[in-house]
Each structure stands twice: as structure tokens, then as C-alpha cells.
Amino acid sequence: MLRRPLLFIFSLVGLATTTASVATAQAAGSTPNRLEFGIDAGATFGLGDVSTVQITLPASRFRVGFLFSDQSRWSIEPAAFLSYTKVEDSDGVFTYDLEVGALYHLRPPADLFLRSPASVMYVRPFIGFTGISADDDTDSEFSAGAGFGIKIPWQANTAWRLEANGGYGFDNEAFRLGLLAGISFFTK
């Protein structure tokens, strides 16, 4: 029933956790590493044989960014959206969207928290796996893309985050444009 998608999800989460742990261990230095926890609202516009629009408020995904160090411009960021819906007298529907991105910040992310804070722009290539499972019927798709965004400091260890991105779904051969607006919380 849901075994195959769940096995894949747990494998992908394990891989992302292992990758982030290794990256964090390699980047250990004189400055402590920060984590970036965030939630994003999103809008996606699919352009292909069948056009689609998806708007998800207040949050379309949860993400965790692993910054290598305060002076590094790189971070690894897995993100996930999971949903299960069951209506009486019908099959339950499990929807998932898992993504891993590598953010390259155009200036060190530590600049967000200096005495005169500065916004930090970034580029984010990503790969993703999206699927839906309803009892015996499953459908999934691999996608890849890139985004360009900005982190805008708001309060201590908190920043707004805005991003525009584009991606390609290989199964349905459709190009997607996306917009994300969210908030990030940084550990010290």
C-alpha cells in the first residue's frame, strides 16, 4: 500500500541527514555552525501540455539548512512537504514533496547578523522527488531546477526569505515556475 513511497522517503531523509552530518563535520572550525529552520508559503505554475496552478498558504514546506560555517558561502538544505487525506468511504491519499538544495550565498550568511545587518542574496540549485499514493495507485516524479532569492534580516537570528525558481519535471515533461515567501530562524 504505502510501503514503497515511505521506504523511499525514509531513505531520502536518511541520505540528507548523513550528507549534512558529514558536511558539518568537515566544516568544523573556529566558528560554530548555524542551522537555518524555515517554513515557506508557495505558488507553483506548471507550463506544459496540461497547465497547473498550486498555491499553498500559510506553509507549503519545512526546510532545514546546514551552514558549513559563519564565513562559508555554502549550505545544504533538505525540504519536505507531507500530507495525508482520508475521506469516509474513499481511499486515503498520501502526497509528498522532498527536495535537496545547495545554497550558494553571494556574501557570507553571517552578514545577516552584524551590527549593521545586510540582506544576503543566494542561488539555489535543487533536485526533488514528488509523488502521490492512493492505496494501490501511485505516481511519482523526479525534478531538477534552480532558484534565486534573498534573505532579509528582521530580528535577532530571524530573517525573511523570498525566492523565485524554475524547475523541470522529467515524468510529465513540464516546466514549472515557483515563488516562495517564508521566514527563517537561525541557531547560534
How many Å apart are CA 112 and CA 124, to the nearest integer? 18
Lowest mean pLDDT among 52-56, 58-62, 87-91, 143-147: 87-91
Query: Residue 10: which pLDDT band, with cuts at 50, 70 and 90?
Result: low
For 129, the grid coordinates are: 522527488
Q: Cell numbers 501540455 label which residue?
A: 49
Q: Are 31 and 8 in contact (CB under 8 A)?
A: no
Question: Mind listing the domains of the chain with CATH numbers?
Answer: 3-24+43-186 (2.40.160.20)
Q: Are 69 and 86 in contact (CB under 8 A)?
A: no
**What was the pLDDT predicted at 22?**
47
